[in-house]
Amino acid sequence: MNIHHLHDWNITPDRAIALQRDMAANIITDQPLQLNSIQRVAGVDVSVKNNMSQAAIVVLSYPDMEIIETVRAQAPTPFPYIPGLLSFREGPVLEEAFRHLEHEPDVFIFDGMGIMHPRHLGIAAHMGLWLDKPTIGCGKNKLVGHYEEPGPEKGARSPLYYKGQQLGVVLRTRDNVKPVFISVGHRGELQSAIDLVLSCTTRYRLPDPIRAAHNAAGKF
């Protein structure tokens, strides 16, 4: 699939922060997803072991959640671990994996943040600009903001705020399990992103595309 190479990855942390602020202005968050027209959803994750990064992209049919394609790529980890700059650590190996996809997804769900980020450019938002496709951030742990605990039942959610702005929701995907942190990445809209995540979640806490990508990325 086509990838828009928007910048060099080999930059300093200070330059990365400035770049995030500039790129965030291009993010689209008011474009509802049309769930009845979606045919393929991809999960995206990266694992790191011994300073090697492995990206995995798993494409599933929608809504039946059957795996269509699994793509992996490996590369040395090029960037230090700095909270808020995850995309510069994982972006290069993800770019390589995206280029090998044969089945183009309609939506990508990332194990990470969308605009729920101090500069509104988590990895789902950042890579959404490179893909120019709808992306959703589905994080397992809070990065920024404050919220009230949602109810215990599947589908319960509460807004997450950061500096007075709602950036996403804290969503219960299964009864009585820990919630996940959902935000738009790019070319999406929050309510339809929530609906898609819930419809992709069958037996576990994480939506099936993310779970499949996590398992694939961990197999070195």
The number of C-alpha atoms within 13 Å of 26 and in the hemisphere containing its C-beta is 15
How many residues would you count in the chain?
A: 220
- Rounded CA-CA distance 118/195 in Å is 25
Give, in degrees to the nearest 5, the angle at Cα 121 between 120 and 125: 115
Give Dmax (Cα) for the chain. Answer: 44
Q: What's the token pair of residue 46?
A: 């990266």
* pTM of the predicted protein model: 0.97
108 closest CA partner among 44, 19, 201? 44
pLDDT tens string, the chain, 220 residues long: the values are: 889 999 999 999 999 999 999 999 999 999 999 999 999 999 999 999 999 999 999 999 999 999 999 999 999 998 999 999 999 999 999 999 999 999 999 999 999 999 999 999 999 999 999 999 999 999 999 999 999 999 999 999 999 999 999 999 999 999 999 999 999 999 999 999 999 999 999 999 999 999 999 999 998 7
- Rounded CA-CA distance 88/78 in Å is 8
Sheet with strand 107-110: strands edge to edge: 67-76, 52-61, 40-49, 107-110, 135-139, 180-186, 165-171, 157-162
CA distances to 60, 77, 213 from 70, rounded to whole Å, are 9, 21, 8
Fold type of domain 13-29+39-217: archaeoglobus fulgidus dsm 4304 fold (3.30.2170)
